Amino acid sequence: MLVLPGTFSLRSAFKLPEEPPTLFAFHPAPDWVYFMFPEAKIPYGPLIKTTARAYRVDPHLVAAVVAAESCFDPAAISSKGAVGLMQVVPQSMEEWELLLDPAYNLRTGVAHLNRLLEFFDGDLLKSLAAYNCGLGRLQRTGVIPAKGETPIFLRHVLEYYARFWSGAPGPSLAPDAPQEY
């Protein structure tokens, strides 16, 4: 390779791609994924594993969403009215009370996450962004929001996802956090 002065620079040689790489989730999750899930180390681990398996979603991903959304607090309520472990927005007052039940909240949240993973053909970033900011907003703009809550949410979920797959401890939890359901 002939390099003439002024024709090559390290900056141009190491340019980042214009778009981030597409990350795909195991969807539908193969059976071996459930055997790798460290349910004993994660609050609500058995319930997360059972619910994730029913919808064929990676339990590591579900636990990562729960950690990022509520830090495993089943009574968490956001400023926007989202409730429970997976921070689901209730459709009625009756559902608000139901969403405080960890099993119901996980079923509702995992079913929604499953639909998003199917809609985006397993594209993890788009599915998670739609979970956080809404499918309608993502469809209208066509891009994952670069500012605000969504990029922070994505970073947290991906960090927890990697931690749960590596077997490292999850978020710091209150000493009275339930270890099993």
Q: Using alpha carbons, list the distances in angstroms from residue 150 to 95, 127, 129, 133, 173.
A: 25, 12, 6, 6, 23
- The pLDDT of residue 177 is 41
Report whether pLDDT(165) > 60. yes
Residue 82, domain CATH: 1.10.530.10
Instruction: Tell me, yes or no, whether 76 lies in a domain.
Output: yes
Strand partners, 77: 83
Instruction: Tell me, yes or no, whether 42 lies in a domain.
Output: yes
Q: For 73-99, what is each residue's pLDDT tens digit?
A: 999 999 999 999 999 999 988 898 999
Instruction: Tell me, yes or no, whether 129 lies in a domain.
Output: yes
- The pLDDT of residue 18 is 54
Instruction: Tell me, yes or no, whether 64 lies in a domain.
Output: yes
Would you place residue 129 in the very low, low, confident or very high pLDDT band (cuts 50, 70, 90)?
very high
The phi, psi pair for 95, rounded to 5°, reads -70, -30
Q: For 32-41, what is each residue's pLDDT tens digit?
A: 889 999 999 9
Q: Tell me, yes or no, if 69 is annotated catalytic.
A: yes
Tokens of 174: 């209150």
* Residue-by-residue DSSP string for 1-70: ----TTS--HHHHTPPPSSPPPPB--SSPPHHHHHT--GGGSTTHHHHHHHHHHHT--HHHHHHHHHHHH
Name the residue among 95, 92, 155, 167 with its Cα closest to residue 128.
155
Strand partners, 83: 77, 88
Instruction: Tell me, yes or no, whether 79 lies in a domain.
Output: yes
Average pLDDT, the chain: 84
132, containing H or E segment? helix 124-133
Q: Which of 18, 19, 69, 159 is catalytic?
A: 69
Write out the residue range of the structural domain in which residue 103 sits: 23-165
- The pLDDT of residue 179 is 36
- The pLDDT of residue 143 is 86
Count of the separate structural domains present in the chain: 1
